[in-house]
Amino acid sequence: MPALASLLCGFIFGLGLVISQMVSPTKVLAFLDFFGIPSGTWDPSLAVVMAAGLAVAGTGYALVRPRTPIFDTQMHWPTATIIDRPLVIGAALFGIGWGLVGLCPGPAIADLATLSPGVIVFVIAMAVGMVANDLWQSRGARVVEQKLVGATAADG
């Protein structure tokens, strides 16, 4: 049942990306291109997607927070609170990659449905980047220990 529930959630998430056109790198880049503000070509749609997503997620999280999940014994809320160097450097590296192509993980995976060779290559490179980080983080016992705790401490 949890697998079926998560299939439904992935599907709804994907529909959201399709309807909002966030699956289109062109649309995303049109938001990220702030030179478009003076020239009138700026597309603020991504900001509206985020605002609407935050309104629903913020309200919904507040409503479900006191409950126990239907298919688990506890909610795995992130526990990390410290703004550290990996967070900032990781976000910066991600932002650079996002700006280069206009794809972040959700739209990249959803776009696999188009069988675009460029998207397939992007997703493979993304998976390699993830594994590279996982292997790099698992070097040394201290870091491994952190990572074991980190399994539920991860933000997203």
Partner 1 sequence: MENFTPISAAIGGALIGLAAVLLMLFNGRIAGISGIADGLVNPRTDDRLWRLTFIIGLVAAPLAAALVGYGVPMPQMPTNYATIVVAGLLVGFGTRLGNGCTSGHGICGIARLSPRSITATGVFMIAAIVVVALTHHVIGG
| CA gap 69, 135 in Å, rounded | 31
Considering only residues 128 to 147 of the shown chain, the ones binding partner 1 according to CB under 8 A are 128-134, 137-138, 147
Contact positions with partner 1 (CB under 8 A) in 84-123: 86-101, 103-106, 108-114, 116, 118-119, 121-123
Name the residue nearer to partner 1 (CB basis): 134 or 139: 134
Report the 3 state secondary structure along 10-50. HHHHHHHHHHCCCCCHHHHHHHHCCCHHHHCCCCCHHHHHH
CA-based nearest residue to 105, from 43, 14, 44: 14
Site for partner 1 in 49-88 (CB under 8 A): 49-58, 60-61, 63-64, 67-78, 80-83, 86-88
Residue placing its CB nearer to partner 1 in the complex, 42 or 140: 42
Give min distance, CB of 66 to partner 1, in A: 11
